[in-house]
Amino acid sequence: MSKLLIVISLLLIASCSGNNLDNDLNRLFSEDYYLGTPGSKLFYRTTTKETQEKYHYSECQKKIVNGDQLRIESCVSSYWLKAKSL
């Protein structure tokens, strides 16, 4: 009798939280996680191009404080060249 109660309770919990679990799993898989430090070989192997580009732009914007778009683009290009050589 107690085993049946446990099974029913577990099924009830699973059915109630199924939608939330689905949402949580979808959110988990949509996040872009990476290994290694940004800019390392492992970083470039484990991230998407979009994440790499965001990293490059943010680093270049930190370096170039006046916001000159041409210099930022040049800086991003140098990051891509450095990434290819890794």
pTM greater than the 0.75 cutoff: no
DSSP-assigned states of every residue in 10-25: HHHHHHHHHHHHHHHH
Asked whether the predicted pLDDT for residue 9 surpasses 60, the reply is: yes
**pLDDT score of 86:** 82
Give the contacts of 38 (CB within 8 A, at least 6 positions apart): 55, 59
- pLDDT tens, residue by residue, 61-77: 999 989 899 999 999 99
Sign of CA dihedral 60, 61, 65, 70: positive
Asked whether the predicted pLDDT for residue 11 surpasses 80, the reply is: no
- pLDDT tens, residue by residue, 20-57: 767 766 776 676 666 778 888 888 888 889 989 999 99
Tell me if 82 sits within 8 A of 75, measured CB to CB: no
